[in-house]
Amino acid sequence: MPIAVLALTAGAFGIGTTEFIIMGLLVQVAEEMHVAISTAGLLISGYALGVFIGAPVLTLATRRMPRKFVLLALMGIFTLGNIACAMAPDYATLMAARVLTSLAHGTFFGVGSVVATSLVPEDRRASAIATMFAGLTVATLLGVPFGAWLGLAYGWRATFWAVALIGVAAMAILAVFVPAHVGRDEAATPIGQELRAIAQPQVLLGFAMTVLGFAGVFTVFTYIQPILTRVTGFSDAAVSPILLVFGAGLAVGNIWGGRLADRGLARALLGTLAGLALVLLLLTPALWSPVAVVVMLGALGIAAFATVAPLQLRVLEKAGPAGRNLASSLNIAAFNLGNALGAWAGGVTIDHGPGLEALPIVAAALTVAGLAVALISLRMDRVGSTAALRPAA
């Protein structure tokens, strides 16, 4: 991979850390802010909805700006948002700071995906996306467990100060290694052409499979700390090393999903979504066994991030060159809308349903819905191809 793609990975690491870090701090935040666990879980939903809103707005607002400048400006927003989180005096302010931080997320990954694919040959595009998204997996592998430990030892605010420093370092790496000229041709695409490109049915179906397919991951992962401590019976101190296992699974799944998508996108879509649904279903009986739950969380990490590159590449292909900037950002927004949906569904299941132990079943149902959308979309591909091959009357 070109070093510029690896620089994008550094930015993804910073943003991924702040997105996922709250999962390891949920109990501490809830106690200090005097709110319920399910209310603290809405900090994930708020972040995700901020991504959903910010991605199209900032992508369109910055569409004629140099791509490198956009990436650096977004990392600046990210850094300021984390400083605001660290200084938040109450729950409402913390929520507002999380939303501010989230505004940079979708556009960074959307623009970054397009930049990454423009730097490699066509048969390496999915792997380039996977390489950039490896920053998310490293964030989960190292950033989230370290943040959980730091929050346990020095308070959750110390974690957000540390993430702000990561943002400063990521800005420096992007400034040095990303070429100034990259992506200029995409920035000049007329807005009407971009909007028409993303309004195509197959692009919209791509967004839907992303939302539903990935919602299952966050139905469980949002509440992973109380699941491990209150259902399985682990101590608070055990959560960080268990998150390392999940993060290692993400790293493996991310690479695996990119390679599968390079070899055959349709098979990768169906296979990874089906695998994710199966792992979520099998997680239910594992919750009461400490060994089994750790093994299944590693499997969940693999299955979760194996879906990312196929889902992202699908919308890039269907949107075409004219719409790939906006489609790419909107699909990142779709991932985060799935995160919000999952966190909300998990909260409802805890407060008004069977409780923490039922979360994997609800999660599996959401992912199966995403798989159904993928089957419909691929069937439309086959029908369209058949119609194109028929001779004219």
Could you give the number of structural domains in the chain?
1
And the tokens for 93? 């302010």
The per-residue pLDDT for 390 is 57
Is 294 within the bounds of a domain?
yes
Q: Is 393 inside any structural domain?
A: no
| CATH number assigned to the domain comprising residue 256 | 1.20.1250.20
Mean pLDDT, to the nearest integer, of 103-128?
81
Helices (H) and strands (E) in the chain — how many of each? Answer: 17, 0
Determine which helix (DSSP H) or strand (DSSP E) holds 294, and give its type and residue range. Answer: helix 290-306
Query: Does 390 reside within a domain?
Result: no
Q: What per-residue confidence (pLDDT) applies to 300? A: 94
Task: Name the residue with higher pLDDT: 276 or 100.
Answer: 276
- CA 179 – CA 176 distance, rounded (Å): 8
Distances (CA, A) of 159 to 20, 29, 34, 93: 12, 12, 19, 17
pTM, 2 dp:
0.75
Q: Is residue 391 part of a domain?
A: no
CA dist list (Å): 55 to 70, 99, 103, 302: 12, 12, 7, 26
Query: Which tens digits make up the pLDDT trace of 24-36?
Result: 788 888 889 988 8
> Per the domain annotation, does 112 fall within a domain?
yes
- Candidates 106, 58, 315; CA nearest to 210 is 315
Residue 279: band (very low, low, confident or very high) from pLDDT cuts 50, 70, 90: very high
pLDDT for residue 299: 95
Which of 236 and 158 is assigned the larger pLDDT?
A: 158
Q: Smallest Cα–Cα separation from 364: which of 212, 181, 257?
A: 212
Q: What is the spatial distance between Cα 159 and Cα 86, in angstroms, rounded to a whole number? A: 8
What is the pLDDT, as a whole number, of residue 393?
A: 47
- Among 161-165, 229-233, 293-297, 328-332, name the most confident range: 293-297
- Taking 60 as the threshold, does the pLDDT of residue 184 lie above it? no
Please tell me what DSSP assigns to residue 140.
I
Beta-carbon contacts of residue 228 (< 8 Å; ≥ 6 apart): 234, 238, 239, 242, 293
Average predicted confidence (pLDDT) for the chain: 85
Given a contact cutoff of 8 angstroms between Cβ atoms, the answer to whether 183 and 8 are in contact is no
Q: pLDDT above 90 covers what percent of the chain? A: 28
- Answer for the pair 144, 18: CB distance below 8 angstroms, yes or no: no
Q: 260-287 in b/e burial notation, b at 16+ Cβ within 10 A?
A: bbbeebeebbbbbbbbbbebbbbbbebb
Strand, coil or helix: 222: coil
Range of the domain at 210: 3-380
Query: 153: Cβ–Cβ under 8 A, 6 or more apart, which residues?
Result: none
DSSP 141: I
Residue 175 lies in a domain: yes
Backbone φ/ψ region at 256: left (φ over 0), alpha (ψ -120 to 50), beta:
alpha
In tens, the pLDDT along 145-162 reads 788 788 888 888 998 998
Q: Return the CA Rg of the chain.
A: 20
